[in-house]
Amino acid sequence: MKAISFAAGCLFASTALAQEPVLTVYAGDYVVSEWGPGPKIEEMFEARCGCDLQFKPGDLLPRLLLEGERTEADVVFGLNTDVTKRARESGLFAPHGVDLSPLTLPIDWTDDTFLPYNYGETAFVYDSTRLPEPPTSFAELLDAPDDLKIVIQDPRSSISGLAMALWVEAVYGDKAEDAWRKLAPKILTVTKGWSESYGLFTDGEADMVLSYTTSPAYHIIAEDDHSKKALIFPEGNYFMVELAAKLATTDQPELAQQFMEFLLTAEFQQMIATGNWSFPAALPHDQWPEGFKELELPSKVLFYSEDEAAALRDEAIEAWRRGLSQ
Amino acid sequence: MASRPLAIGAALIAAGLVLALVLGPVAAVLARAGGWGALGPGDWQALRFTLWQSLLSATFSVALAIPVARALARRRFPGRGLLISLLGAPFILPTIVAVLGLIAVFGQNGLINGSLRALGLPGFSVYGLHGVVLAHVFFNLPLATRLLLQGWLAIPAERFRLAVSLGLSPRAMFRTLELPMLLRIAPGAGAVIFVICLSSFAVALTLGGGPRATTVELAIYQAVRFDFDLGRAALLSMIQLGLALAAGLVALRLGTGGGFGAGLDRLVTRWDGRAGLPRVMDAVWIGLAALFLLTPLGMVVARGLPGLAQLGAGSWAAAWNSLTVALASTLLCLAWALPLSSRWGEWVGLVGLAVSPLVLGTGLFLIVRPFANPLSLALPVTTLVNALVALPFALRILRPEAEAVRADYARLAQALGLTPLAWVRLVLLPRLRRPLGFAAGLTAALSIGDLGVIALFADPERATLPLQVYRLMGSYQMEAAAGAALLLLIFSFGAFWLCDRGGRANADA
Amino acid sequence: MLTLENMRYTDGDYSLSADLCLAPGRRVAIIGPSGAGKSTLLDLIAGFLTPKAGRLLWQGQDITATPPDRRPVAMLFQENNLFPHLSLARNLGLALRPGGGRLTAAEGRKLESALERVGLGGLSSRKPGALSGGQQSRAALARVLLQARPILALDEPFAALGPALKVQMLDLVQEVAGELGALVLLVSHDPQDARRFAEETVLVAEGLAHPPVETRALFDAPPEALRAYLGQ
């Protein structure tokens, strides 16, 4: 009985509000929390579109693939490069039609379907008060004493974990398994997702955590804590980008297009750095927020195209699994 | 009870609903996938590890629960009721919170390693198979203890009086009274814990320390979320289900033997174990269990207190959602459990716990999708799934005593021609008050703490507390997340305590 | 007339046959060695067991398939005759209202007078746990009064009581049954009970319930099976 009245209440609520045009945006779960960028995006975009932007959080691609062409989504916000190949093959997405010349990414981006709005690179984050002399390269990290403890994420359940597997693959190629084996004694543990790892790191359980080059910005800006630093390796750090795309089946094509254009505007770009704790994808470095400007940027950025990544993925995960299973 | 066909009918409907709710989604996933997938190279290793850690975790949880439950059953001390309730708290914590609490005690920089270092002693690493088992025992020892304690309390006082008057030695007393009860209760408790551990994922991975600690549930997660290989997910979840049902069958075969018959309801006073050594041993067991279970909880509280002040409106709304969902799932779960409280009903009930929540969520999504917007059904679906997942626990708690009530009073009720409603209202429910309260508390708490299938059905306006904890952590708000986790702990423990207390108040009258 | 017509019950190796008639209003003891099937016979009559063959008739009407609560039988079990969590009033009320509904004022008075009849006047709000064993038996008998069925089946309900108390209870049963004009079937392992209480006795032994015989005559010239049971 309870469940039925719930359902009725929910249905009623969603029909009663349907006055102005609604833009439905599927977004990653973290986006919509009161601390995520969702509320700000909603406020900024609704001010210019005269519409109702509704975020629907949760799994992105699995849900879209399950729904297929009947999906209600107009735009999807928060895809990563690990799924773009499959997403593209689903045929559910339309070209974004946005001029890519304002992009300020460290790599060349020409994709006409998936539009980047922020990025970062995988990096080990450490606390310089606890670890005054961290390894300065990947090679030094592999040779570091075994009492240096690192937490990483599982490449089978986490995108940052997968990025690291590809990172090791990009740096060490067919020696990747050996690299993992040398790293193994230093891997304190592997977690399901980034949150668990980062929680362990902030609790002082591990010396280093697999995170992003942008993580220190949060501590600098929100906590005025300059001790958290990301390791920049001369071998390169692996590029991670977040993407938006427009559904081909959208019933609000103009609004969806407007939203895509909005993503590269200076207004959005200036907000997203601190909104999502990432580098803005289309904003010159001198316009970045203060805390971000002081971050050290990778000299070399590694990245596999989606086809290369798809070809290497299983091998990279296997190297990880075998290397750490010894 | 007066009309047996009606009782059987209700049981069949309840069992049918369980099976439909589990097999329907699996079938939907399978239909969508177009057939079973194939197992990958690591899957066999994952299967072996899953089985092994589940077996160890279940064995240790039950074995350690025996002395603890025994000590709690025969000792009276101030705060005993509160301690029993508190000991149940780990079981109802969301995994991420509990893991961080455990690591704060047992981790590299935890209390224990910290003290060892301060004393100049070598530290130890919690990560590995032993860590997985430690965490699972932490979660499940309370459940095993409560189930066994329930069994001890169900031994009528008359039997203990008889044993004392016969001058039975402690050993003989154990063999004649306690061992039969243990043989009846322990296999079922072990089976439920085994099944819980089968679908462990984040805990096993984090404390297992790496890919060696890969479980089947992780492979399912990978198949659904990363590879979108629904056929493989369906196959893996059926393997998981098969293992759970096999464990259930073993428990059914082992856990036979009748109840103790009805005793007049007097408080169980025991005359054994008054000597010095048993007293000391009981105190040691209770102390150790309390230390093991409550220290990590204390860390969760300590970490969460500063964060409480940072909680915004979103967290309070989420708390409210969690409470309503918990209330609804509790009522649903109990209504489900009563007709199923028999041996076979309990076996069927295991199904809900054994099926992967991810596959369940995906299947429900596929089923619901043509008729309604799954997002708007987020809370009802969560309610339903929480009730389904809690069902095995409710049944484990209710079944032995429901059977005893039937054995003792069904004939009298039949002779009087009690209507089915009168049987339920006047006999079954009042006689089951204590286990019903416990079951309701556990269901409510599990429901507040469980993330369930909400990932596919998430709705920004209708987040639950566990989801909120994850969202906060995902936005670097570790302190606020710890606060939300504490709120979660307070609410689930509060719900548990209220129901459990309600069941135990005046339970002797 | 209660007629057991070529009745046969089997359960695994165990079997019990009965072909006999019992007259209304009589007091009948059912005796025999332990395990021979005294309680089984009672359960067959009360409807808790179904015979594999044969029929059960009451006043010529076939009641073989009638559920227990619709048979003309009120039964007292060895134990668990009262729900321990319900007051005497609630316990007895169930005999009048099996749906658990509220009693009318008239029914309430009837209940009180039944309790008074068995010597428990004024105790209707007590729970069974607060009564002595004898008082609990009396309460159960009060309920039998309320049920007012023409057959009263007693499955050793007083076995736990002391000899003097048991005699008192058997006397009370006799009075109650007399008021109801009920046929009383008393299962007992104590030949003294049969002698004191029963006009007729049914001997159950070696898989057979013998037709009733006048009690005095039976004990004066016991057949072979009874002699073995009595240890003579």
Residues of B with CB below 8 A from A67's CB?
369
Question: What pLDDT, on a 0 to 100 scale, did the predictor assign at position A12?
Answer: 42
For residue A230, the SS3 value is strand
- Report yes or no: B414 at the C interface, CB cutoff 8 Å: yes
Residue by residue, DSSP assigns A16-65 as: HT--S-EEEEEE-GGGGSTTSSHHHHHHHHHHHHSSEEEEEES-SHHHHH
A191, A195, A197, A201: CA torsion to nearest 10: -160
User: Looking at B135-149, B261-275, B281-295, which range is the least confident one?
Assistant: B261-275
ipTM above threshold 0.85 = no
Do β-strands A52-57 and A22-27 pair in parallel, antiparallel, or remain unpaired?
parallel
Domains A22-119+241-294 and A120-239+298-324 share a fold: yes
Question: What pLDDT, on a 0 to 100 scale, did the predictor assign at position C129?
Answer: 86
Chains B and C in direct contact, meaning 3 or more beta-carbon pairs closer than 8 angstroms: yes
Q: Burial of C126 by CB count in 10 Å (0-12 exposed, 13-18 middle, 19+ buried)?
A: middle
pLDDT in tens, C78-118: 888 888 888 999 889 888 888 878 889 999 999 999 999 88
Q: Across residues C62-74, what is the average pLDDT?
A: 88
Residue C21's H or E segment, with its range, is strand C14-22
Q: Which two tokens stand for residue B379?
A: 């809370």
Note the CATH number of domain A120-239+298-324: 3.40.190.10
Write phi, then psi, for C162 (nearest 5 degrees): -70, 160
Question: What pLDDT, on a 0 to 100 scale, did the predictor assign at position B331?
Answer: 93
**Interface probe, candidates A33, A52, A149, A218, chain B, greatest B C-beta count within 10 A:** A33
pLDDT in tens, B117-135: 899 888 888 899 999 999 9
List the one residue out of A31, A70, A69, A68 whose CA is nearest residue A53: A31
Instruction: Report CB contact under 8 Å: C67, B414.
Output: yes
User: Looking at A37-41, A142-146, A288-292, B505-509, which range is the least confident one?
Assistant: B505-509
Give me the amino acid identity at B282. D
Lookup result for tokens 């990432």? A278
Whole-number Å distance between alpha carbons of B54 and B196 = 8
Q: Across residues C50-79, what is the average pLDDT?
A: 89
Burial A243-268 (b: 16+ CB within 10 A, else e): bbbbbebbebeebbbbbbebbbeeeb
What angle, 0 to 180 degrees and rounded to 10, lies between the N-to-C axes of helices A176-183 and A159-172?
Answer: 120
Q: Which two tokens stand for residue A324?
A: 């750490």
pLDDT surpasses 50 at A6: no
**Interface probe, candidates B362, B376, B469, chain A, greatest A C-beta count within 10 A:** B376
- Report yes or no: B426 at the C interface, CB cutoff 8 Å: yes
Q: Across residues C181-198, what is the average pLDDT?
A: 88
Q: Judged by CB atoms within 8 Å, which residues 228-267 of B form the interface with C?
A: 261-262, 264-266
Chains B and A in direct contact, meaning 3 or more beta-carbon pairs closer than 8 angstroms: yes
Residues of B with CB below 8 A from C48's CB?
411, 414
DSSP secondary-structure letter at C155? Answer: E
- Report yes or no: B421 at the C interface, CB cutoff 8 Å: yes
Subunits with at least 3 CB pairs below 8 A relative to chain C? B
Q: How many CB pairs under 8 A join B and C?
A: 74
Residue by residue, DSSP assigns A121-135 as: EEEEEEETTT-SS--
Q: Give the model's confidence band at B456: pLDDT under 50 very low, under 70 low, under 90 confident, else very high.
A: low
Reported as half-sphere exposure (CB side, CA atoms, 13 A), residue C99 has a value of 3
pLDDT in tens, C132-151: 888 998 999 898 888 889 99
Question: What pLDDT, on a 0 to 100 scale, did the predictor assign at position A7?
Answer: 41
Subunits with at least 3 CB pairs below 8 A relative to chain B? A, C
CB atoms within 10 A of CB B426: 23
**Interface probe, candidates A11, A32, A34, chain B, greatest B C-beta count within 10 A:** A34
List the one residue out of B1, B33, B3 whose CA is nearest residue B366: B33
End-to-end CA distance of chain B: 23
Write phi, then psi, for B107 (nearest 5 degrees): -75, 180
Helix, strand, coil distribution of chain C in percent, nearest 5: 40, 25, 35
Whole-number Å distance between alpha carbons of C88 and B233 = 59
Question: What pLDDT, on a 0 to 100 scale, did the predictor assign at position B455?
Answer: 59
Question: What pLDDT, on a 0 to 100 scale, did the predictor assign at position B508?
Answer: 40
CA B15 to chain A, closest CA, distance in angstroms equals 19
- Report yes or no: B162 at the C interface, CB cutoff 8 Å: no
Instruction: Report CB contact under 8 Å: B32, A6.
Output: no
Q: Which two tokens stand for residue B195?
A: 């099944």
User: Looking at A291-295, B166-170, C168-172, which range is the least confident one?
Assistant: B166-170
Q: Burial of B198 by CB count in 10 Å (0-12 exposed, 13-18 middle, 19+ buried)?
A: buried
CA C189 to chain B, closest CA, distance in angstroms equals 22
CA A99 to chain B, closest CA, distance in angstroms equals 30
CB atoms within 10 A of CB A97: 12
**Interface probe, candidates A1, A6, A69, chain B, greatest B C-beta count within 10 A:** A6
Question: What pLDDT, on a 0 to 100 scale, did the predictor assign at position B273?
Answer: 60
Lookup result for tokens 């046959």? C17
Instruction: Report CB contact under 8 Å: B127, A188.
Output: yes
Question: Which residues, other chains included, contact C194 with Cβ-Cβ below 8 Å and sequence gap of 6+?
Answer: C29, C31, C186, C188, C201, C215, C219
Whole-number Å distance between alpha carbons of B57 and B61 = 6
Cross-chain CB nearest to A189 (options B104, B209, B379):
B209
Tell me how far apart the 2 most distant CA atoms of chain C are, in Å.
56
Domain boundaries, chain A: 22-119+241-294, 120-239+298-324
pLDDT in tens, C149-179: 999 999 888 887 888 888 888 898 898 888 8
User: Looking at A169-178, A313-322, C153-162, C196-205, which range is the least confident one?
Assistant: C153-162
For residue B191, is it left (φ>0), alpha (ψ between -120 and 50) or beta? Answer: alpha
Class of A22-119+241-294 in CATH: alpha beta
What pTM did the predictor assign? Answer: 0.79
Lookup result for tokens 């007293």? B279
Tell me how far apart the 2 most distant CA atoms of chain B are, in Å.
74
B46, B51, B52, B53: CA torsion to nearest 10: 80
Whole-number Å distance between alpha carbons of B76 and B84 = 12
Q: Across residues A102-109, what is the average pLDDT?
A: 95
Cross-chain CB nearest to B416 (options C47, C84, C94):
C94
Reported as half-sphere exposure (CB side, CA atoms, 13 A), residue A212 has a value of 24
List the one residue out of A151, A152, A153, A148 whose CA is nearest residue A131: A148
pLDDT in tens, B79-121: 888 888 787 778 777 777 788 889 889 988 889 998 998 998 8
Residues of C with CB below 8 A from B267's CB?
none
CA C13 to chain B, closest CA, distance in angstroms equals 22
Instruction: Report CB contact under 8 Å: C69, B425.
Output: no
Residues of B with CB below 8 A from C129's CB?
264-266
Nearest CA in chain B to C140: B412
CB B483 within 8 A of CB B308: yes
Q: Across residues B215-241, what is the average pLDDT?
A: 87
